[in-house]
Chain A
């Protein structure tokens, strides 16, 4: 069974700081890795996904995937108070095209103004 672990559990940064969130997974053959953002009382919203080793940039977000070390990270540039939310890492396990996602427990980010 795929396991997904996130760190840190929580993080407080000043507005404008660079934020780095970490996620480790247990199966190097896993398919895509997703990052979701969840504001209080809302459902998660997909931010960015990555499949191939390396990095992918979308706006203020950059994600890095290293399958050899079973690690993926999300970096948020120039953080804003509206970025305050829980960030969930989710992994699509290697199950022949399964629709399933395995989620980590999340990192709670607070960006102070």
Chain B
């Protein structure tokens, strides 16, 4: 088995601040994802990466940057945090990008609050 670690668990920022969230996986999976989950809502894809140094935009990429410098890690940057923003950011990984049957494994999330 493997595990996905997300840091930090909680992130409190100020309006306009640039904030970085980190994700590490030891599954040796090729594809990694960042999702945003607002309270009581489903998950929306921000970015995904099918291999090291690859980036693909999801439906919610505006206002975010991502970086995949190593196979095992995927970072997400909120470029300018919005006041009153509160959401959970979930990182996931799966074994390959093209298999429609591939399971996505999720980390525990980073909870963001912008004051």
Contacts and interface: CB of A to CB of B under 8 A. Distances in A.
**Interface band, chain A:** 20 to 34
- Dominant secondary structure of chain B at its interface with chain A: loop
A98 B100 CA distance: 7
B40 A46 contact: no
Interface in A50-76: 51
A88 B42 contact: yes
A97 B97 contact: yes
A92 interface: yes
B34 interface: no
A99 B106 contact: no
Contact of B103 (A42, A46, A105): A46
Interface residues of B, number: 30
A89 B9 CA distance: 25
A100 B58 contact: yes
Contacts of B90: 43-44
B86 interface: no
Contacts of A99: 31, 33, 48, 50, 94, 97-98, 102
Nearest to B103: A46
Contacts of B48: 99-100
Identify the interface centre among B97, B100, B103, B104: most chain A CB within 10 Å of its CB: B100
Given A31-B100, A99-B48, A99-B97, A44 B106 contact: yes
Interface of A: 1, 4, 31-32, 34, 41-46, 49, 51, 88, 90, 92, 97-101, 103-106
Given A49-B103, A99-B50, 20 more contacts: A1-B59, A32-B100, A41-B109, A42-B109, A43-B92, A44-B43, A44-B90, A44-B106, A45-B106, A46-B103, A46-B104, A51-B100, A97-B98, A97-B99, A99-B31, A101-B43, A103-B42, A103-B43, A103-B44, A106-B41
